[in-house]
Chain A
Amino acid sequence: MAFLTDRKRADGMGAAKTGTASFWWMTVSSVALLVLVPIFIFTAGPMIGKDYATVTAYFSRPFPAIVALLTFSVGLLHFKNGVTVLIEDYVQGLARKIWIIVMTCVSYAAIATIVFAIARIAL
C-alpha cells in the first residue's frame, strides 16, 4: 500500500526520474571550468609550438600538469553531458542511442588518454 501522495512521489523527479541532477552537474562543472579554462589557456597555450624538451619539462611541473589534467577531465565530462543533450534534441530512435554511446565512449577514452599521457610526462 502506498502511503505517499502522488505529488510527493513525483516531486523533484522530472520526466526521466532523475530530476535536475544533470542540470546541476552542468552548473557545478561550468563553475569549475570558469576557473580552470583561463588558467589552462595561459599555462598550456604558450607551450604550443615549443620543442619537445621544453614541453615535457614544463608538464613535469606539478601546477601545469594538474591544471591540464583537471581541465581536460572536467571539460570532457562536461562535453559528454552537453553532447548528450544535443543528440537528444536532434536525433531520434536507435540512432540517438548509438550516438550517445559513441560520444560517451569517445569522452572517456580521451580522459583515459590524457591521464596516461600527462602521468607519463610528469612521472
Chain B
Amino acid sequence: MADSNSDNRPLSPHLTIYRPQMTSISSIFVRITGNALLGATLLLVWWFLAAATSLGAFELASSVITSWFGNVVMILSLWALWYHTLGGLRHLIWDTGRGLELQAAERMGWMMIIGSLVLTALTVFYFLQGV
C-alpha cells in the first residue's frame, strides 16, 4: 500500500541527539584508530619493500618516514596502535561478562585514554634512548 505521507513521518531519535559520553567516545575512537592505522601500515609496507629493493629506494622511503610529516604520522599512529590495543583488551574483558557496569566501563575508558598516552610517551622515550 502506497503511503503518501512516508517522507514526513517522524524518525526515532538517533546518535546525534545524545550528549557525548565516555562510553560512546572511547568506543568510536577504537573504530577511528583501527581504520586510520591503514595509513601507517602502508607507509611501513613501502619502507620494507624499499629495503628489499635497493639502497636508493630505501633512502627515499626512510627520508619520507623520518621527515617532520612522517614523524607526525608515526607518533600519532603509535598512539593509535596503543589505544586500539587497549580498546581490544577492553572488548576481550567485556566478552567474559566483566566490566559491563557503567562505572566500570567508564573507568576502563579513562584507563584507555591515559594508558595509551603513557605507553606512547614511554615508547618514544625508549626509541630516543636507543639512538
Q: Do A and B come from one complex?
A: yes
Do residues B81 and A41 form an inter-chain contact, with CB atoms below 8 A? yes
Residues of A within 8 A of B31 (CB): 82, 86
Q: A83-B35, A86-B35 are in contact. Are A37 and B85 (CB under 8 A)?
A: yes
Do residues A116 and B58 form an inter-chain contact, with CB atoms below 8 A? no
Residues of B within 8 A of A27 (CB): 92, 95
Do residues B35 and A82 form an inter-chain contact, with CB atoms below 8 A? yes
The answer to whether the Cβ of A76 comes within 8 Å of any Cβ in the partner chain is yes
Taking a contact as CB atoms closer than 8 A, the residue among A30, A41, A56, A86 that contacts B51 in the complex is A56
Closest CB in chain B relative to A52 CB, distance in Å: 5
Do residues A79 and B85 form an inter-chain contact, with CB atoms below 8 A? no
Specify the main secondary structure of chain A where it touches its partner: helix
Specify the main secondary structure of chain B where it touches its partner: helix
| Cα separation A13 to B99 with both chains bound (whole Å) | 28
| Cα separation A48 to B66 with both chains bound (whole Å) | 8
The answer to whether the Cβ of A68 comes within 8 Å of any Cβ in the partner chain is yes
Most buried by A among B31, B52, B65, B74: B52
Taking a contact as CB atoms closer than 8 A, the residue among B58, B66, B127 that contacts A46 in the complex is B127
Binding stretch for chain A, among B16-24, B37-45, B102-110: B37-45
The answer to whether the Cβ of B78 comes within 8 Å of any Cβ in the partner chain is yes
Do residues A76 and B48 form an inter-chain contact, with CB atoms below 8 A? no
Residues of B within 8 A of A120 (CB): 52
| Cα separation A20 to B37 with both chains bound (whole Å) | 25
Closest CB in chain A relative to B41 CB, distance in Å: 7
| Cα separation A51 to B131 with both chains bound (whole Å) | 12
| Chain B residues with a Cβ closer than 8 Å to the other chain, count | 34
The answer to whether the Cβ of A110 comes within 8 Å of any Cβ in the partner chain is yes
Residues of B within 8 A of A68 (CB): 48
Taking a contact as CB atoms closer than 8 A, the residue among B48, B95, B131 that contacts A117 in the complex is B48
The answer to whether the Cβ of B130 comes within 8 Å of any Cβ in the partner chain is yes
The answer to whether the Cβ of A45 comes within 8 Å of any Cβ in the partner chain is yes
The answer to whether the Cβ of A55 comes within 8 Å of any Cβ in the partner chain is yes
Closest CB in chain B relative to A75 CB, distance in Å: 7
Most buried by A among B41, B42, B55, B66: B41
User: Told that A34-B92, A55-B58 touch, could you supply 17 new A-B pairs with CB distance under 8 A?
Assistant: A30-B91, A30-B92, A41-B123, A45-B127, A48-B62, A48-B74, A49-B65, A52-B59, A52-B62, A79-B35, A83-B35, A83-B38, A86-B31, A86-B35, A114-B48, A116-B52, A117-B51
